[in-house]
Amino acid sequence: MSQSNIMPGFRPAIGFTLFYLALIVLIPLSAMLLKTFQLSLDEYWAILTNPRVLASFRVSFGSALIAAAFSGIFGFIIAWTLVRYPFPGKKVFDALIDLPFALPTAVAGIVLAAIYEPKGWIGKLVMEAFGIQIAYKPLGIVFALIFIGLPFVVRTIEPVLQEFDKAMEEAAASLGATRLQTFIKVILPNILPAAITGFALAFARGVGEYGSVIFIAGNMPYVSEIVPLLIITKLEQYDYAGATAIGLTMLLLSFLLLLSVNGLQWWVRRRSGQL
C-alpha cells in the first residue's frame, strides 16, 4: 500500500484543512498586512518609535517573559508533586489547576484586582509588610499572567513525568549517583523539552492576554499599559492603520520569539537523544 493511501479521504481532508487555514488565519492576517501597507515607511516607523508604544511593548513582553519563567519553575514543582506524591485532597487540587482554563478572563481579572489592590486582603498585607504595591503596577500584570499561564506548564510537564521510567532513576542510584546528579543527568534531559513547550505556551498566552490584565494593571501610559489595550485605544480613535501597524509588529515579534523557543526545544531534544 502506498503512503498516500494509508489515510482514507486524504485529499478532501487536506483540502478542508487548507481552506480552514486560509479562511480563519491567512485571510485576516493578510488584511492586517494590507492595512499596514497603507502607511509609508516613515509613518510606520514613527508609530513604532512613539514613546508610549515602546513603553507598552516593554510592559507586555517583559511581563510575559517574567511570568512564563515563574510559571515554568512553579509549574514543574506542582507537576512533580501531583505525579510523585499522594496527599489528601489531591484530586481536588488537580482539578483546581484547570480553573483558569474555564474561568472567563474578565472574571479572573476582577478577582485578582480585588485581592491584590492596596485595600485587598493580600495586597494590604504585602503593602504593610514590605511596602510593595501589587495591583495597578507591572507587578500586578506578572501575577495575573502567572495565574493564567501556570496550567499550561503543569499540563505539559505532567504527562511526561507520568510516562518517565523510574527504572532509570534506580539504575543511576545503583551506580552511585546522588539525587541531585540523578535529577540533572537523568530526569531533567527528559522533561526539559516539555518544560520549554510549557514556557512557550505560557509566554504566548501572556503576550496577547487582555481580559485578566486590564483590571489589575491600572492601564497607566508609560507604566502599566499593555499592547492589546493600546490597540483597542487606537481602534476607538478610528486609527485603524496605527492599530494594525502595532498589531503586525506584535505578531512578528511574537513569531520570532516563539521560533527561537522552538529552535531551542529542537536543540535540547537532539542533545538528549530524543530526535
**Cα 191 to Cα 258: distance, rounded to the nearest angstrom:** 19
pLDDT digits (tens, 9 = 90+) for 119-142: 888 888 888 888 888 888 899 999
Do residues 90 and 157 share a domain? yes
H-helix or E-strand containing 22? none
The pLDDT score that the predictor gives to residue 1 is 45
Q: How many domains does the chain have?
A: 2
Does residue 217 contact residue 226 with C-beta atoms inside 8 Å?
yes
User: What is the overall mean pLDDT for the chain?
Assistant: 85
Do residues 107 and 126 share a domain? yes
pLDDT digits (tens, 9 = 90+) for 21-43: 777 777 777 777 777 777 888 88
Place of cell 503576550: 207
Average pLDDT over residues 151-158: 92
Domain range for 3:
1-37
Do residues 29 and 89 share a domain? no
Do residues 70 and 18 share a domain? no
**Cα 48 to Cα 79: distance, rounded to the nearest angstrom:** 40
Do residues 162 and 187 share a domain? yes
pLDDT digits (tens, 9 = 90+) for 164-207: 877 888 888 888 888 888 888 888 888 888 888 899 889 988 99
**Cα 124 to Cα 144: distance, rounded to the nearest angstrom:** 17
Residue 146 has pLDDT above 90, yes or no: yes
**What is each CA distance from 273 to 60, 189, 190, 200, in whole angstroms?**
35, 9, 9, 21
Average pLDDT over residues 83-95: 88
**Residue ranges in the chain assigned as alpha helix (H):** 10-21, 27-36, 41-48, 51-84, 90-97, 99-102, 105-116, 121-130, 138-163, 166-174, 179-182, 188-208, 211-217, 227-236, 240-271
The pLDDT score that the predictor gives to residue 13 is 76
CATH of the domain at 175: 1.10.3720.10
Q: What are φ and ψ of residue 103, in 5° steps? A: -75, 130
The pLDDT score that the predictor gives to residue 69 is 94
